[in-house]
Structure 1
Amino acid sequence: MQKINSSANDPVSQADKDVSTGRESEMGIGLERTSSGRDIYDKGSSASSGIPGVIPEYHELQPISSAPGPPGSQQDDEPHRSKVRVIAIMVALSLSLFVAALDQTIMATAIPTISAELHSASGYTWIGGAYLLANAAGATIWAKLSDIWGRKPILLSAVALFFGSSIICATAVNMTMLIVGRALQGTAGGGLIQLVTITISDLFSVRHRSLYLGLLEFMWAIAGGVGPLMGGAFSQYVSWRWNYWINLPVSGTTFVLLLMFLDVHNPRTKMLEGVMAIDWFGSLSILGLTLMLLLGLNFGGETFPWNSPTVICLIIFGCAMSLLFIYSEKRLAKYPLMPMHIFNHVSNVASLTVCFSQGFVFIAGEYYLPLYFQSVQEASPMHSGLLILPIVLMEALMGVTAGVVIHRTGRYLELIYIGVVLLTVGNGLYILYNATSSLGEIIGFQIISGIGAGLLFQAPLISLQAGVSQEDTATATATLGFIRNLATSSSIVIGGVVFQNCMKTQASGLRAAGVSAAITTELTGGDAAANVMMVTKIKDAAQKLAVKEAFASSLRNMWILYTCVAAVGVVASASVMKIKLSKEHKETKTGLKKKSDPDTPGARIPQAVSA
């Protein structure tokens, strides 16, 4: 391998280095040369997968030796990794992402069936909420564990946990067992989504890596598209339990492939040092505040009155835990989950606000539109899976399109403006949905909302990364991913609270329309979502129309809430600054800092540029 002159003032040496670097980038799996002559993998500064909840990080790797070859050969420029090994690794990583993404959408059309079979209406929101909440809480922990003990063992642990938790869900005999299984699944799924992107960042150069991140985007789109269809088909024609059994052969194959073919460097960190490096207090406090706030909102007006001590204490202590979390991140944590200096600049806060708004709103469409289809439109689970395809496919298509536009032009601010407006308009149009809405309205409104949501998957992330120093890119990205996951999990619970409390007010109207007391009891309050299939069994046309309008009215109030949250994103977007995206790359070192290492720099002050 050609030796590199360490003198930065030698123009000939520098020219040779530039040519070598360009050749290596074209090879895809490149090596970047340092002043010491050591070879390390090339790492990107701000590449994003465009996948919701995916958090890329970039890590220092040790030299990898390769078989010697003649000067200028490919062996000079990339580590010795056969095509078969690369294909096997990518298949395993793609399958890992697929099952984790699939379980976010496959339940949307199956939940009414599950709630009815397990005789638990209260579990309707928590089947999805438990998965997303655990996903949000666990993702950053998995990333930190992989930094400390290496990618392969932690990734295998996440796959194994996903496998085991899928068995728990598939064999659940009551709603409590199912929700526990879903929480464990969400914990593992958060790790899989996180670690797949991190591992790809370790394996490939930044230019070649984009091809594989595009593959992940495609896998996410496939999971989003087929998930509701599979969920509806299994629930209607086989059993809802197959929504979980299907994970076993996929995750089992993934485990074997990763065990046999994944060959990334594992740092040797002492167990005690690694355990002490984890931000335990921050992790526990953010989990505590989230659970207490969401439980308080979920219990309020349904399980307990809003003025009950239980609800009041949960909400108050949840808010108090947020203060403890902020204090921990600012004062106590040596390696914080969410560095507070990221929030020092208005543009960064605005980008995170847009991200929260998008995450809060887009998941509601995917989760609650099937409820509208099955209750008001009398669609079967399978049919509702087909009806949800417009928004899912548009989100996937626009997510890929936004990534291409940003990559080619460096422009992201325009995408944010268009996205927040269309997301608000699309969800505002959902308010018009009623018992007589046409198929054109159902599809058209979803397309508008889907375009807006899809444009906002990557653009806020790029804006945030451009507004922080290179050393803070990974932690800023992790913060955005956490906020997006927190938004999606809280959205499902809060939306369910609004819907259930609104349905409770419909009882008098249903009785006035002649609906029997027994059916009215089943279709109002917390029982509404679980008993949605009862709508098709009502024979009297006037009574059936009254029930449909009751569902539509309750859902309408929920869409008003989501439209207001989307409008917050419109307001926040006005404060997002336009920053020139740098093409230069500086390596980001992560892991446990030594005492001699400099302190982590804070977020840089973004400098706006003119169009």
Structure 2
Amino acid sequence: MEHQEVDHTERILTSDVEKGHPVEDESISADEGGTCHLPGARVRLTKKQFWWVLLGLNLGMLLAALDFNIVATAVPTISSEFSEYRKSAWIGTGFFVAFALVLPLFAKLGAIFGNDHMFNLGTAIFILGSGLCGGARSMDMLIASRVVQGIGAGGIYGLVNVIITDLVPLKDVGKYLTFTGMVWVLADVAGPLLGGVFSQYVSWRWCFYVNLCISPISLAITVFALRLSKNTTNRKRQFLHLDYCGTLLLVGGAVCILLGISWGGNTFPWPDGRVIGCLVGGVTLIFLFPFLERRVKDPLVDPILLRNRTILTIAAAEFFFGANMISLMYYIPQFFQLVFGDTATLSGVGLLPMMLGITVGSTVAAFITSRREVSLINAQIGAGLTALASGLMVRWNAQTPRAETVVLLIILGMGQGAVMSGLLLSAQAATPKELIGITTGFVIFVQAVGDNFGVAFFAAVYINELRSSLAELALSPSDIEGILRDVQSIKHRFPAEVYGRIVDTYARSMRNGWWLMFACAAALFLLSLCGKQHKFKS
């Protein structure tokens, strides 16, 4: 989903130059012999060294991308081992929150201390988090470790594309960033499959241990081979001027809201003071954030973006797009396991039609943009297909034919692929040239925040309904608590008739989540219609 930036990176860097931001040593780009046009020559890398660095960067990107959805098929197994299915959404949410909220921070720190050094730091944190996840002895430890892992993954993703723009001439940036797009497609396909295979045949812990086998290779390559130009400005002054208050408001507000949503009706009753306090406090902090950004010297989010209606409309659409896409990737495999009785591996195979659809949708959308020089129409058609498929998913139950799920997931993926290609390009086309870089980072950041809230809201409506529906089956409180803790034990604990009723309860409870995803898709469609179509200049 992140390869959307490919076509416009050249314009992003051009805007940085126009604003006076140093991009690279100009003496290199002025090389009379023309060697500056060779890959890596801008930072004095040989061609062989350049390809090694590109390999290291994309290895890091691959593993960060894998951890978006590799646990989706392993969640029932993990939660059953720890007897904490109620908290299982935080295995994803903890990672997504950390990933989203460190994106702007790593970008700022990269400009101060060097993108290469911050990338290496992000990789080291990712390795640490992966080791902690693999060795987790409780659900709480796993969630905390996923937060650490998310911080590292955010640093990797936030800097790979920027580093590539430091390595090659502007006119060639898109060509080399195509590799990162291929990496994300590979990760989207392989993640759920690997998660299923590891959890079924080896151990779910290998979802994280695999990073310990490959990430050190990425780190070694970039530590020894990657050398970018040094920032000659006053690092201490720049570091002191970072928007710490804005960061605290944004992080604190997001975490408080997510905690309130997660606790409400599950850990504590909705009227409980802790739930209300988190929700009110979180909304207050988020509300104060834009006011603070107008008064700080180096804001985390440029206030200009907060006054641009077109950008705000597309950013809001990106929020609902992220909520829909990641939540469905996370919970569809659980539906296949809990309702259809699939193995972890088979539930990963069940996501392949969606991945195929995303590939087809994004490819067709790119062709339309190239031929017609329009992009918002892709987002509008894609949002319509996403809303259609999400709406039909509310019909899913234990008797739903497999063919229906395959067709719906292909339609869903095609819609999401088209939206993925259309929204960001529309935001860039509607932005003044000097603000394209800022807009790109802002829109992607909002989508990442949407990822978090989608998974958290889905978990809230699903688990709350599951608890109340299980109570209607005349089960004892201890049986209900046992089901909420260990969802894989129901096949062995209950007779066939009761087991069938419990499976139907899972399907009905997840229907609330499908309705929520339909609402997100509908909001995405309406917001895409409110945007203004801009034609790209030839």
Q: Note if 1:501 corresponds to 2:501.
A: no
Give the superposition deviation at 1:391: 1.1
Change (3 A) 1:326 1:91: same
User: Residue deviations 1:183-236, cap 9 Å, x none?
Assistant: 011011011111001111222234322222221111101111111111111111
Give the superposition deviation at 1:374: 0.8
Which of residues 533, 542, 547 in structure 1 aligns to 2:497?
A: 542
- C-alpha contact (below 8 Å) 1:58/1:198 kept by paired residues: no
Q: Distance in 1 between matches of 2:168 and 2:469?
A: 57
Give the superposition deviation at 1:401: 4.1
* Matching residue's letter, 2:453: S
User: Residue deviations 1:69-122, cap 9 Å, x none?
Assistant: 7xxx54264535422112101101111110100001100011111111122223
* Matching residue's letter, 2:448: N
Q: Note if 1:318 corresponds to 2:282.
A: yes
Give the aligned partner of residue 133 of structure 1.
Answer: 97
Give the superposition deviation at 1:421: 0.2
- C-alpha contact (below 8 Å) 2:74/2:195 kept by paired residues: yes
Equivalent residues in 2 for 1:167-178, closer than 5 Å: 167-178=131-142
Which of residues 510, 529, 532 in structure 2 aligns to 1:574?
A: 529
Equivalent residues in 2 for 1:512-523, closer than 5 Å: 518-523=478-483
* Matching residue's letter, 1:94: N
Which of residues 287, 291, 305 in structure 1 aligns to 2:251?
A: 287
* Matching residue's letter, 1:155: F
Q: Note if 1:75 corresponds to 2:30.
A: no
Q: Note if 1:553 corresponds to 2:508.
A: yes
User: Residue deviations 1:296-319, cap 9 Å, x none?
Assistant: 111111111111111111111111
Q: Distance in 1 between matches of 2:145 and 2:206?
A: 14
Change (3 A) 1:339 1:65: closer
Size of the aligned set, in residue pairs, is: 521
Which of residues 324, 331, 337 in structure 2 aligns to 1:368?
A: 331
Report sequence identity in percent.
28
Equivalent residues in 2 for 1:227-242, closer than 5 Å: 227-242=191-206
Give the aligned partner of residue 44 of structure 1.
Answer: 10
- C-alpha contact (below 8 Å) 2:378/2:421 kept by paired residues: no
485-494 vs 343-352, greater mean Cα deviation: 343-352
Change (3 A) 1:152 1:521: closer
Which consecutive residues of structure 2, in runs of 5 or more, have no partner in the other structure? 1-7, 14-19
Change (3 A) 1:507 1:65: closer
Equivalent residues in 2 for 1:386-397, closer than 5 Å: 386-397=349-360
Change (3 A) 1:440 1:330: same
* Matching residue's letter, 1:491: G
Residue aligned with 1:264, SS: coil
- C-alpha contact (below 8 Å) 1:46/1:462 kept by paired residues: no
Q: Note if 1:256 corresponds to 2:211.
A: no
419-428 vs 334-343, greater mean Cα deviation: 334-343
Residue aligned with 1:574, SS: helix
Give the superposition deviation at 1:543: 2.1
Q: Distance in 2 between matches of 1:367 and 1:384?
A: 11
Give the superposition deviation at 1:339: 1.9
Give the superposition deviation at 1:67: 11
- C-alpha contact (below 8 Å) 1:46/1:465 kept by paired residues: no
Give the superposition deviation at 1:473: 1.4
Q: Note if 1:353 corresponds to 2:341.
A: no
Give the superposition deviation at 1:59: 5.4
Q: Distance in 2 between matches of 1:75 and 1:121?
A: 58
Give the aligned partner of residue 29 of structure 1.
Answer: none
Give the aligned partner of residue 95 of structure 1.
Answer: 59
Give the aligned partner of residue 307 of structure 2.
Answer: 344
Give the aligned partner of residue 86 of structure 2.
Answer: 122
> Greater share of helix residues, 1 or 2?
2
- C-alpha contact (below 8 Å) 1:366/1:392 kept by paired residues: no
Root mean square deviation of aligned Cα: 2.2
Q: Distance in 2 between matches of 1:181 and 1:348?
A: 35
Give the superposition deviation at 1:467: 1.9
Structure with larger Rg = 1
Residue aligned with 1:510, SS: coil
Give the aligned partner of residue 588 of structure 1.
Answer: none
Give the aligned partner of residue 17 of structure 2.
Answer: none
So what's the TM-score if we normalise by structure 2? 0.92
So what's the TM-score if we normalise by structure 1? 0.81
Which of residues 439, 448, 451 in structure 2 aligns to 1:476?
A: 439
Which of residues 419, 423, 446 in structure 2 aligns to 1:456?
A: 419
Q: Distance in 1 between matches of 2:493 and 2:230?
A: 62
Which of residues 420, 430, 436 in structure 1 aligns to 2:399?
A: 436
